[in-house]
Amino acid sequence: MSSFKGVALKTLSSVEIDRLVSNQHEFNGVTALKSIFGNDKRSYVGEFYYIEKSGRILKNSGELTWYDARENSIDRTEYRFYYSDNRVVNKANVGDTLIVALCNDDVVKIIIVEEGTRFIDVLKVSIGLSSIDEKYHVVSNLSLLSDLANTLK
């Protein structure tokens, strides 16, 4: 049995993580994330992890809010995941891989993997991706990621 209700991953973009470009503390939300988190505004407990090339794992907790930034617009939606500032996100860089996982207990794991980490190559092969880019990819075989969740406990 999988530990997750849904998982999506992408490469971090400058607007999401580079403080010189944006200081909004938000991961962009799109149809891929709406399929996991729905359309309703909701706050979550977040567990944040940063996996370095060396294998070292930084951990922090925080809050996340899933919301439509254009909720008052009748013809447009723009979903985002607001995150609280923390040392894990502050360590992240453009090009790192972002994994957003909604767990069965409704905790959201934000896992950021340093660019060039071998784990990403293994993950891509495991889930059938040739590359990971700034577009979210929903992971359909969630059982493949259960071992990762156990590693981060």
CA 98 vs CA 8, 10, 77, 104: distances in Å: 8, 5, 22, 19
pLDDT in tens, 65-105: 998 877 777 777 778 888 888 899 889 999 999 999 999 89
DSSP annotation of 30: -
Strand partners, 10: 98
CA distances from 117 to 14, 41, 52, 95, 112 (A): 19, 34, 7, 11, 11
CA distance 55 to 67: 33
This prediction has a pTM of 0.86
Enumerate the domain spans of the chain. 4-143
CA nearest neighbour of 127 among 10, 3, 13, 1: 10
Average predicted confidence (pLDDT) for the chain: 82
From first to last of its 153 residues, what are the pLDDT tens digits of the chain?
458 888 889 888 887 776 665 556 767 767 788 889 998 899 999 999 999 999 899 999 999 999 887 777 777 777 888 888 889 988 999 999 999 999 989 999 999 999 988 888 877 777 777 778 888 888 876 665 655 555 555
**Length of the chain measured in residues:** 153
CATH architecture of structural domain 4-143: Beta Barrel (2.40)
